[in-house]
Amino acid sequence: MPLIGDKFPEMEVQTTIGVIRLPDHYAGKWFILFSHPADFTPVCTTEFVAFQRRYEEFRGLNCELIGLSMDQVFAHLKWEEWIKEKLGVEIRFPIIADNTGDIAARLGMRHKQAAGTQTVRAVFIVDPKGIIRAMLYYPMELGRNMDEILRMVKALQLADKGYAIPANWPNNEIIGDNVIVPPARSVDMIKKRREQEAAGEIKCFDWWFCYRRPE
């Protein structure tokens, strides 16, 4: 099972848009690979609609979506058709048909809670270099919070600029929508933080807890 910081495993997958290679297909882009237990199930249907309704927001962050379950590709296609006909939502991101379960096993998507022919609700957030930046696992009975996943992509992109992201950002209880400047790790850095604070570049509670507006 891959871990945060690992390169996403190279694999060729059958999807609703044809065969693609991961992570190469999304080179230069962020992507979110998420698994769902099965097509034609109520919670999964609500998740796909929720992801699709935010799809343009994800794409605005240079981030693509790709689903996965242990169903045949024709089941995915029929389910997409049903969602469009019954709910008026067209699913425009691909879904991997992992009918053998090999991909799910390789990525650690089959836990004890899941039946032998199902995957748990796993989420992998992968950056433009193909590095796994975050992983989430939800129980079978709990649908995912898509706004939190969207928030994570935004926060990770800010983190790449050298910031740390506070709890509940952008609605943190202490510093609001500001971001944290990495703590000083030397006497010289402490001096620099104090100079930055005096110049109005950052604000500090102390030299180890400074923050600023994100650039």
Q: Buried b / exposed e across 183-210, counting CB within 10 Å, b at 16+?
A: ebeeeeeeeebeebbeeeebebeeeeeb
DSSP structure class, residue 59:
H
> What tokens does 24 get?
């190469």
Instruction: Give dist(CA 134, CA 44) in Å, integer.
Output: 21
- Region of 175 (left: φ > 0; alpha: ψ -120 to 50; beta: rest) is alpha
Instruction: Give dist(CA 98, CA 90) in Å, integer.
Output: 22
Instruction: Give dist(CA 205, CA 57) in Å, integer.
Output: 34
- Region of 29 (left: φ > 0; alpha: ψ -120 to 50; beta: rest) is beta
* Residue 121 · residue 138 · CB < 8 Å: yes
Phi/psi at 166 (5° precision): -75, 170
- The identity of residue 201, as a single letter, is E
Active site residues: 44
